[in-house]
Amino acid sequence: MPIIVNRLDRKAYGDYIEFPVEELISVYSGVFSFKYIYYILREWFMDNNYANPKESEFKEDLYSQRDAGGVKEIWVRWRLRKETGDYYINAYEIDMIMHGLALSETEVLVGGKKMKMDKGEVEFKFLGRMMINPDYSNAWYNNDKAWFNPMLKKWFASRHIIAKTDFHGGAFLSDLNRLLELIKEYFDVERYGKTRELMDFYKGRLGE
């Protein structure tokens, strides 16, 4: 997967805190269904308020597929945003990149029935940001009259902002961990068949 060199320009995009500092990367290989993992992730983001629950309004920033010699390479990129309702950190954002490599079609026997699956490798990369309200940023960095007292500004930075950042960092990390667990659970189901609950749930929602 190519390295993302250019970070978002704060002047053009708005101020934010990268969280976590390093990208979260998960790689899986073997037999799986790209269709199901795509659907499961889309449903999770909609169910957890990172995307509009109306499927027709789900925004896909990039979908690219290349076929060569009977194998496929697929790139999917989504930019997702969840409003927090807080004045200081007003949103969480996740850039998700899903890269399927050397994918070929295969068939597996499930419950006495043949199912079409994919064989190959898939890599997930997540970049997270906690967005800072631009109204707050403008007042803070432009020395707005609200901060005429330097002691007040210092106290606010050392107490209130740190507390807010810690709170939202914990909440955002919880979301990211649940997302990674969802992916891990899916591939555990596919590999080891310990439980079919996750697959049965989403297969039901797909009408299969």
Identify the band that residue 157 occupies on the pLDDT scale cut at 50, 70 and 90.
Answer: low
Average per-residue pLDDT for the chain: 82
Q: What is the mean pLDDT of residues 116-141?
A: 86
Q: Of 166, 198, 204, whose CA–CA distance to 181 is shortest?
A: 198
Residue with the two structure tokens 């992730």: 41
Q: What is the mean pLDDT of residues 21-35?
A: 90
For 62-93, the pLDDT digits (tens) are 999 999 888 999 999 999 999 999 988 999 99
Identify the band that residue 114 occupies on the pLDDT scale cut at 50, 70 and 90.
Answer: confident
Is the predicted pLDDT of residue 144 greater than 70, yes or no? no
pLDDT of residue 142: 56
Q: Where are the domains of the chain?
A: 10-205
For 41-64, the pLDDT digits (tens) are 999 999 999 998 887 778 888 999
Which of 12-16, 33-37, 144-148 bottoms out in mean pLDDT, i.e. has the lowest? 144-148
Q: Which two tokens stand for residue 145?
A: 């009259």
| % of the chain surpassing 90 pLDDT | 48
More confident residue, 96 or 13: 96
- Phi and psi angles of residue 172, each rounded to the nearest 5 degrees, phi first: -70, -40
Query: pTM for this structure?
Result: 0.79
Identify the band that residue 161 occupies on the pLDDT scale cut at 50, 70 and 90.
Answer: confident
Helices 34-47, 162-192: inter-axial angle, 10-degree rounding: 150
Q: Does residue 182 contact residue 40 with C-beta atoms inside 8 Å?
A: yes
The number of C-alpha atoms within 13 Å of 59 and in the hemisphere containing its C-beta is 10
Q: Which two tokens stand for residue 23?
A: 């990208």
pLDDT of residue 53: 83
